[in-house]
Structure 1
C-alpha cells in the first residue's frame, strides 16, 4: 500500500470474442416494455410515504453519543493498524496524510461545528482513487464518519421529526404531480431525499419502495451480432488424408472440405448465447484394397455441426455439440486382371455398399462432431476475468458498491445491463430506449449514473483549477488553454453537497456541468448557489461520423437570485470564461483505437467512431462502428 496456423482459426477468434464480452462492464428489463412511472406505482408510493410519515419517532434517529464513540474507536483502530505496519515509515505517512488529530480533539469538545468540520475534512481524505484507501480499517472509519454526520444532522429529535414529516408530505405531493417520465429536477430531488431518509434510519418502507420503483438498470453495454460475426465467421477450405478400414476393405485417399463457420446470437436472459455452426461439403477420392482387388470410389458428403456457448461473468459454458452427415458414394472402377474376379467383386461391393455407406456416414458424423467439439472447447479454455474482483478496490476507494449486472442476448446483440447505485441512491424508472441503427458496439447511460458515481467523491468538496485539469488529463482530454496576454490567478470551486454534477439527456441534447456553492479567484469570491453548464447537441461530420457540438456559450446561473452586485456580475463573466476552457467545443470527434497491447487479437488495433448519438427521456445512447 502506498500513497503515491492458429491466428486465423475461426474458433480461436471465437475465443477472443468471448473474452472481449467478458471484459465488457446485473437486473434485466426488456426495453420494449417502455417502462415508466405507472399510476399503480405512483399510488403505492404515495400511500407508503404517508403511512411511514405517521410512524416517525424521535428515538429511532441516529444516536449522537454512540456515533461519536464509534468514530473514536475506529480512529484508534486505524492508528494501531498503521503503526503495526512492517514499514513504519509507510504507516506514519498514512497517519500524516489522514491527519486524524483535529477530529479526535473535536470529539472531546462540546463544539459540534468543529466535529462536523473535522469529520468532513477526514471523509474527503478517505475518498479518492488512491491505492490503499480500500483497506478495511479505512473504509470502516469512513462509514463511521458518515453515520456521525447523519447523527449531527438529526441531533434534535423533535425538530428533526417535524421537518422529516414535512419533507415526506412534500415528497408525496411531488410524486402525485410527477410525469410518467420524471423530469431531471424530479429525479434529482427524489435522489437527494432518499439519501436523507436512509441517513435518518426512519421510514425504511419508503426507501425500499422508492428504490424498487426507481430500480431499473441505468447502464447498458452492447456488442452487435455483426461484430461477433466479423470475428468468428470464416470460410473452411482444407484437405486431409483418408486412412480407414470398412468391412475388411482398407481405404486410402483424400478428402476435400469446403464450407463456412458462422455465429448467431440466440435470445437469452442470464447469459449471452452464441450458436456456432459449421456447414460444409466434403468430396472424397479414394482407393479401396481388398486382397488383389482395387476399388476406385468418389463421394460427396454434406456435414454440419452446431454448438451453443453460454457467456456470463462466471465464464463460458457449452451445450453438447450436435453433428449430422449425409454421404453419396460411387464406385468408379474395379481393378483386377481377371474379368471374372472383377464381376464377382462388383456384385459383392453392390451387396455391401449400403452397410458400408452407413458405417462411413456414422464415422464421418462422429469425426466431425469430435473435431468441432474440440475446437469450440478452446473458446472456454480462457481464464475467466473476475470483473468484480478487478473493480472492487477502485469502487471501495470511491465509496461505491459493485454494480449489479446481468448478461443476455437478443437476435441482434449481446448485452450487459448494469445498475450502479448505493443503498442511499436510486437509478431510474424509465427503461432504456431501443437503438434504431446497426452497430458494432453501443452504450446507453441514464442520468442517475453520473451523480451516483461522482456524487460521493465530489459532494461538498473544494476543487481547484489544477485538480480539474488533472482529472481532464486522466480522462484523455487535457485542457488546451487559450492564449491570453493577461495571466489570471487560478480558481477554485466548492461543489454542492447535493447533485454536484449536472447531467441531463433530454430532447436530443445533453446538458452537462457542475453545481457549486462558492467560486473564488485570487481575492475575489462569490458565495451563492450556482450552476455552470454547457449544452451539447449531436451533429454529423461530412465523413458520416457523429459528434457532439457545444452551444456557443457556457451558461452560468444562480438559482433563486434575481440580481447580482456589480462585482458579482463581473465574477460571473470570469466563471463563464474559465469554464469555456474546461468544456470543449466538441466531443467524440476522435476515433477510439484499441491499443496494440490488448491480448484480444480480434479487436487489437481496431479503430471505432461514433455514428449515432441519441438523447431522450434521461438516456444517452452512443453507437460505434
Structure 2
C-alpha cells in the first residue's frame, strides 16, 4: 500500500551529559548480571534439542519428506543441518545449524508459514544453548562476563556507537544476551538496552492533500435506476458525478481516515401506477462518509452514514394505451402526483441515502480489503520471510497528515534512543538512520554471494531480492580486460552504512572475494557516495576509489598492516577499482505507482539531506 511502501528509519545521537549516568547504569546492570549468571547444563541442551525436535516434526508433517514437494523444500532449507542436531548422542554442529537458520530467513515464498518460523525460533535458541552448554562452567562464566562487560563499555562510548564497527560489536554481544533471555535467565541488561535504544527508528509522513491524490478518486458513471415510491414502480437511468476525498482525524497510536463521497445524480425515469405512466426528471445531491482506522495489526471500517436530497420535476402524465376516459384519468393522476410530490421526494431522498451508504460501504470495503492484502504481501509477509519483523509499527494522524513510525530492529539490534530530525518540507517525507539500514541489509543480504561470469552477463546473486535491491556493476574501465569474479558477504552485518556530513559511507564486509584464480578472505570494501542532482534526476555519486581493508583491522586504532596485508591490499584494490566492480553512480529512480488505481503515477524525489547519522528524503506526487 502506498502509505507504507516507502518505510524509512531514524536514529538520534546520545547527548554528552547523559553519557556518564548511562555508563554507570550499564556497569551496575552488568555487575548484577554477572553475579546472577548460572551456567547452562547438559539438561538445558537436551531440553533445547527437544523443543527444536517438536518444531522440526511439525514441519515434516506439513511438507511430507517422502513427496517430491517435501524433498525440494527440505533440500532448499539444508534440512540435514537440523537433523544433525537431533541424532542420538550427536555433538552440536553449529555451522550446519546456522546455515539452515540463514535459509529459513532467505525471503523465499512460503517462509512466513508459522511452522517454519517456529523452527527458526527454536533453532536460534538452540544455537545459543549449544554454544554454551558443552563448555565447562568456568569457561561459560568467563565468556558471559566478557560479553556483558563489552556491552556496558561500548554503550557508554558515544563515538563508537556512531560507527558501524562499534554498533556491530554491541549487537554481536547482544545476540548472545537475547538468546539467554529466552531461557528465562536474568535479562535486566538486555532489557535496559532495548529500552534505551528502542525508540522508533523509522518515519514516513504523508500530508493530507497528497493522501487525497493517492487515495481519492472521481466517480462518473451511468446506470439503471429502479425504485418503488407510493405504489409507483419506477425505472430509468441515473448519471452520477461525484468525488471520494480523504481527511485525517487526530489520533495517536493508530490512523483515522475519514472517506467522504459527495456528488449528485441526474435521473430520467418512467413510473407506472395502475393505468397511468409518469415521466420525470430529477436531481439527487448526496454526501456520505465512512471512518477507516489503520493499525499494523488490522484495518477497521465503521459503517457509512449518508444524507441525500432529491428534487423531481414531472414532465408528463398519461394513461397507458389511451382509450375511453383517458383525459379524466390523466387529470386525476396529475392532481394526485402534485399532491404527493413533496412526500414522494422525501421518500426518494431516504432511498437515495440507502443506495449511497451501500455504495460507499461496498466500494471502500473492497478497496480497504485489497489494501490490507497489499500491506501484508509487501510488508508483513516479506519481513517475516526475512525474519526481520519490526518490534513495532505504529500509525498516527493529525488534522493535516498521516505518520507511520517503526522500530526496525530485532531483539539484539540497536534502534533509536532519541527524537528524529525534522522532516523535509515536502508532501511526503521519510527519515532514515544508518542503524535501520544496517538492520534491514543484515536480513536481506547476510551470507549472500554475488558473481559475474562474463562481460555480457549481469551481476547475479544467489538469494531472493526485492526490486529495491536491484544489482548493478559498471562495465570495466576502458582498456581493462574483464575478469570473472565472485563476492561472498559476511553472514552477520554484510554491509554497514555510516551517514555523515552529506555523505554515505558504505562498507561491504566480505568473507571471500575471488577474481579469476585469486582469492581474498575477510576484506572490507569501503565506498563513499554523495547525493547529487544531475539534469533533474538524483543520483548517488561515488567519491574517489574504493578503499580496501582487512575486516579485523580498525584504522582508528593507529595500528599498521603487515607486509603481506599491504601486498594483498594493493592487488585487491586494483582488481576492484580497475574492474569497476562497485558502481560509480547509483540512480535514485522515481517510485513507480502505475500498478495501482489513481491519477498519481510516480513519486519524484524532491530533496535529500544527510545529517549526523541520518538521511532525510522528500518526495512529491506527480
**TM-score, normalising length from structure 1?**
0.70
What CA distance in whole angstroms lies between the structure 2 residues aligned with 1:612 and 1:361? 50
RMSD: 5.6
1:229 positional shift = 2.8
Paired position in structure 2 for 1:8: none
SS at match of 1:369: helix
Question: Do the aligned partners of residues 516 and 370 (structure 1) sit closer, same or farther apart at CA in structure 2, a change above 3 Å counting?
Answer: closer
Residues 66 and 494 of structure 1, relative CA distance in 2, 3 Å threshold: farther
Deviations 1:16-58 (A, max 9, x none): xxxx3598489x99x9xx9765799767744542332332446
Residue 532, structure 1, aligned to residue 514, structure 2: no
User: Residue 420 of structure 2 contacts residue 431 of structure 2 at CA under 8 Å; is this kept in 1?
Assistant: yes
Q: Where does residue 305 of structure 1 map in the other structure?
A: 288
- Tell me by how many angstroms 1:513 deviates: 1.4
- Summarize the alignment of residues 443-592 of structure 1 with structure 2, pairs less than 5 Å apart: 444-455=431-442, 469-470=460-461, 474=465, 475-482=469-476, 490=485, 495=490, 499-515=493-509, 531-542=524-535, 544-557=536-549, 558-559=553-554, 560-565=557-562, 567-580=564-577, 581-590=580-589
CA distance in 2, matches of 1:353, 1:143: 76
**CA 1:154–1:233 in structure 2 vs 1: closer, same or farther (change >3 Å)?**
farther
For structure 1, list consecutive stretches of 5 or more residues without a partner in the other structure. 1-19, 110-114
Does 343-352 or 295-304 show the bigger shift? 343-352
Residues 1:156 and 2:139 are matched in the alignment? yes
Q: Is the 8 A contact 1:297 1:329 kept in 2?
A: yes
TM-score if structure 2 supplies the norm length? 0.70
1:293 and 1:100 mapped to 2: Cα distance?
83
Distance 1:75 1:328 in 2: 71
Partner of 2:615: 620
* Separation in structure 2 between the aligned mates of residue 249 and residue 399 of structure 1, nearest angstrom: 63
2:171 partner SS: helix
Whether the aligned pair in 2 keeps the contact of 1:244 and 1:251 (CA below 8 Å) is yes
8 Å contact kept, 2:215–2:598: yes
Summarize the Cα distance change of 1:449–1:466 in structure 2 as closer, same or farther, 3 Å threshold: farther
Which secondary structure state, in structure 1, belongs to the residue aligned with residue 410 of structure 2?
Answer: coil
Query: 1:369 corresponds to which residue?
Result: 357
C-alpha contact (below 8 Å) 2:472/2:583 kept by paired residues? no
Residue from 212, 215, 218 that aligns with 1:234: 218
Q: Classify the secondary structure of the residue corresponding to 1:538.
A: strand
> In 2 relative to 1, CA 254–593 (structure 1 residues): closer, same or farther, beyond 3 Å?
closer
Measured in 2, the distance between the counterparts of 1:458 and 1:293 equals 77
What's the CA shift for 1:205? 1.4
Instruction: Indicate the residue corresponding to 1:264 in structure 2.
Output: 247
Provide closer, same or farther for how the CA distance between residues 479 and 329 of structure 1 changes in structure 2, counting only shifts above 3 A.
closer
Following TM superposition, by how much is the alpha carbon of 1:160 offset from its aligned partner in structure 2, in angstroms?
4.4
Q: CA deviation at 1:518?
A: 7.8
Distance in 1, Cα, partners of 2:218 & 2:444: 48
Q: Is the 8 A contact 2:107 2:464 kept in 1?
A: no
Q: Which residue of 2 aligns with 1:273?
A: 256
Query: 1:355 and 1:75 mapped to 2: Cα distance?
Result: 73
- Between the aligned partners of 2:504 and 2:530, the Cα distance in structure 1 is 6
Q: What are the ranges of 5 or more consecutive residues in structure 2 without an aligned counterpart? A: 320-324, 454-458
Per-residue Cα deviation, 1:291-335 (whole angstroms, up to 9, x for no partner): 999998775553211222334455543222222234556778999
- The equivalent of 1:55 in structure 2 is 32
* Structure 2 CA distance for aligned equivalents of residues 300 and 78 of structure 1: 65
Taking a change above 3 Å as real, the CA distance of residues 549 and 154 of structure 1, as seen in their structure-2 partners, is farther
Distance in 1 (alpha carbons) for counterparts of 2:365 and 2:484: 62
